[in-house]
Amino acid sequence: MYRAQETVLEIDFKVLKQNFEYLKSKIQANTKFLAVVKAFAYGSDATEIATYLQNLDIDYFAVAYVNEGIALRNAGITKPILVLHPQAVNFKELIDYCLEPSLYSAKVFNEFIAIASLQKQTNYPVHIKFNTGLNRLGFWENDVNYIVSKLKETNAIKIKSLFSHLAASEDLEEKAFTLNQIESFKVISNNVTNAIGYKPMLHICNTSGILNYPEAHFDMVRSGIGLYGFGNSEKENKNVKPIATLKTIISQIHKIEKGETVGYNRAFKSASFLKIATLPIGHADGIGRHYGNGKGFVTINSYKAPIVGNVCMDMIMVDITNIDCKEGDEVIVFGQNNTAETLAQTAQTISYELITAISQRVKRVYLK
């Protein structure tokens, strides 16, 4: 174990590999695996993660935006990269870097065909996204004829896959809704496939879809959060483990008397003698203000220390009155035991938000 001397996010590649192997064990041998590495691989560092995963049995990567895909290409990633939410202003660069766009509306579809034609592309691989109930991005079922008629007018693009995204794959109370999404995806993909006369790949499952809907894996699955160690359920959290541990240290300890206050706006007022530790991590590092004032906590020598007062930009103060510790001691903000999910819940949010928020100024350390 690495002993922190400053704030660091420690990434364990052995755990990443175990999570990947667990997820792979849930899919058929001939089902492809796409690793979602958008948002700096959910805060872990996309180029490091993708470079590591590229040597495992990964078929595809996905990012949200074109600049994320360019960073991967510049780091030597050669596998196909799906860009989930590209904007037309970046289509030329997308082609220059051999990234593959998700085309989700008539506007971006036509804009992409225009630019691909201008660049003298033929059969450029694209992925058509359908909305089956999330109502976020995607063509509707009744857009199929329009898409097919436009495709017949050009040879600049070729459909590599048809896909959709589930709205509530982790929520088994929404099973009927999810099954309905899967059904309408089947109808749409049959219609498109019959009309174009070749078979693009089909995919709809994210991590919870992989785990909860084995019948809907189709040709490929897309996993993000599961790789990083969150299964979105108590049961699955036993099968995957967080790859990231956020550590910091105690910068200074203050002893304060009853009636004194701690931090900005004097938000915390002590009711008795207290020992308070100041830690070098704040909202600019990704610990938002909503964790302040007793909601969030960190772990010091296995004991919970609640955050007192407001979260500052570069610091938090925690109550260590009953903890045997000294300046320089290591502090765990989240990790394998006190997970980001548990900490996120103290502020009514989810693991995804907390881990993707850890800012670039926090040094990443890799255990390989």
Ligand X SMILES: *Cc1c(COP(=O)(O)O)cnc(C)c1O
Contact range with ligand X by CB under 6 A, out of 52-60, 224-232, 302-310, 343-351: 224-232
The single residue of 14, 107, 258, 264 carrying the catalytic annotation is 264
Nearest distance from C-beta of residue 95 to ligand X, angstroms: 21
Residues found in the chain: 368
Residue among 36, 71, 108, 156 that touches ligand X (CB under 6 A): 36
44 belongs to the binding site for ligand X (CB under 6 A)? no
Tokens at residue 360, please?
A: 């670039």
Report whether 302 contacts 320 (CB < 8 A): no
Find the binding residues for ligand X in span 75-104 (CB under 6 A): 84
Nearer to ligand X among residue 7 and residue 351 (C-beta)? 351
**Quick one: 237 or 270, whose CB is closer to ligand X?**
237
Of 1-9, 222-230, 244-252, 301-309, the window that binds ligand X (rule: CB under 6 A) is 222-230
Residues between 138 and 167 that touch ligand X (CB under 6 A): 165
Angle between helices 144-152 and 175-196 (to 10 degrees): 30
Query: Which two tokens mark 287?
Result: 């610990």
Taking the C-alpha atoms of residue 344 and residue 364, their distance in angstroms, rounded to an integer, is 20
Tell which positions 228-247 bind ligand X, by CB under 6 A.
Answer: none
Integer Cα distance of 48 and 91 in angstroms: 25
Smallest distance, ligand X to C-beta of residue 37, A = 10
Smallest gap from Cβ 6 to ligand X, in A, equals: 29
Other beta carbons within 10 angstroms of residue 312's beta carbon come to 18
Among 222, 241, 247, 283, binds ligand X (CB under 6 A): 222
At its nearest, how many Å lie between ligand X and the CB of residue 46? 13
Q: How far apart are CA 95 and CA 113, in angstroms?
A: 11
Residue range at the interface with ligand X (CB under 6 A); choices 10-18, 223-231, 262-270, 324-332: 223-231
Question: Which stretches does DSSP call E strand in the chain?
Answer: 8-12, 32-36, 60-63, 81-83, 100-103, 124-129, 157-163, 201-203, 220-223, 244-249, 252-256, 261-262, 268-269, 274-279, 297-300, 303-308, 316-319, 330-334, 363-367
Binding-site size, ligand X (CB under 6 A): 11
Question: Residue 223 CB, nearest distance to ligand X (Å)?
Answer: 5
Cβ atoms within 10 Å of 318's Cβ, excluding its own: 24
Selected range binding ligand X among 221-229, 237-245, 297-305, 339-347, rule: CB under 6 A: 221-229
Q: Does 207 bind ligand X (CB under 6 A)?
A: yes
Q: What are residue 298's DSSP bridge partners?
A: 305
38 is catalytic: yes
Strand 316-319 vs strand 274-279: parallel, antiparallel, or unpaired?
Answer: antiparallel
For 53, the 3-state DSSP assignment is helix
Which residues from 165-204 bind ligand X, rule CB under 6 A? Answer: 165
274 near ligand X, rule: CB under 6 A: no
Q: Does residue 31 bind ligand X (CB under 6 A)? A: no
Which residues of the chain form contacts with ligand X (CB under 6 A)?
36, 38, 84, 165, 206-207, 222-226
**Active site residue ranges:** 38, 264
